[in-house]
Amino acid sequence: MTTHTATAVLVHGAWADEASWDKVVRLLHARGIKTVTPRLPLSSLADDTATLNRALEPIEGPIVLVGHAYAGAVIATVQSPKVKALVYVTALAPDQGETVADVFYRNEHDDKAPKLAPDADGWIWLPTEAFGIAFAQHATHAEQQALAAAQLPISPACITVAVEQPLWKSLPAWYLVAEHDHMIPEKTQRFMAERMHAHISAYPMDHLPSVTAPERVEAIIVEAIEHSKA
């Protein structure tokens, strides 16, 4: 087993928690790659950035940041010099002056995409049935049930604030495009990946490949670590 000096920090998006990375973590550990899986509060982009910054502080050595979905915006807001590369897993990558909502709604969603709106307390939840239709349709029924039970809602404050200059403008980026994604259209993913000049891989996966295609996620993280000489 080769021991890598880089730490892969795996950041969950909306409606999933850090356990959604478990399969990828096991694969990376088998390669000798250290991992950290922080939990975001999903209360605002500023809160999530602060949480991620705190998680990065004690890590020694280089870091490769990996973000799923909404977390693509979060990983691009940190400024730690330890970060050497960014990996986007079906993730959102707003440019300076854009919000997460701007890129999320850039292209029309298909008829399997869920309708999203805040509840009476101001949180956006994913409808339970959406886990099997749009979010992780390639997962087992048991996995879909577990995801729905553990889902973390997101605040509109996460997706309606314009970002500052994103880190992908100064660091190498990798992007895993999910061709069967009903949450973020493939066309939108490719637009963002091409705009950031990312190293692009594309497969017929759903929105949560960390659960349904973990080997694909592992491979792109390893590629980012090796090519960035982290």
Task: Tell me the residue range of the domain where 106 lies.
Answer: 7-227
Domain contains 100: yes
pLDDT tens for residues 75-112? Answer: 999 989 999 999 999 999 999 999 999 999 999 999 99
CA distance 6 to 194: 26
Helix (H) or strand (E) holding 211: helix 209-212
pLDDT digits (tens, 9 = 90+) for 138-184: 999 999 999 999 999 999 999 999 999 999 999 999 999 999 999 99
**Per DSSP, which regions of 58-212 are E strands?**
63-68, 83-89, 173-178, 199-203
User: What pLDDT is attached to residue 145?
Assistant: 97
Residue 28 belongs to a domain: yes
CA-to-CA distance for 150 and 18, rounded, in angstroms?
Answer: 10
Residue 185: pLDDT band (50, 70, 90) is very high
Please report, as a single letter, which amino acid is at residue 32: G
71 belongs to a structural domain: yes
Query: Measured on CA atoms in the order 48, 50, 51, 57, is the torsion positive or negative?
Result: positive
Share of the chain above pLDDT 90, in %: 96
Structural domain contains residue 2: no
At residue 13, what is the residue type?
A: G
Bridge partner residues of 64 (DSSP): 8, 85
Choose among 17, 22, 63: nearest CA to 221.
Answer: 63
Q: What are the CB-based long-range contacts (under 8 Å, 24+) for 130-133?
A: 133/182
The set of residues, in sequence order, having a beta carbon less than 8 Å from that of 120 and lying 6+ positions away, is none
Q: Is residue 152 assigned to a domain?
A: yes
Q: Is residue 1 part of a domain?
A: no
Q: Look up the CATH number of the domain holding residue 69.
A: 3.40.50.1820
227 has a pLDDT exceeding 90: no
Q: What percent of the chain has pLDDT over 70?
A: 97
pLDDT higher than 70, residue 36: yes
Q: How far is CA 83 from CA 3, 25, 45, in A?
A: 19, 19, 19
Number of domains in the chain: 1
**pLDDT, mean over the chain:** 95
User: Helix, strand, or coil here: 141?
Assistant: helix
The pLDDT of residue 1 is 47
Report DSSP state, residue 131: I
In a domain, 46, yes or no: yes
pLDDT for the residue 4: 64
Query: In this structure, is residue 104 part of a structural domain?
Result: yes
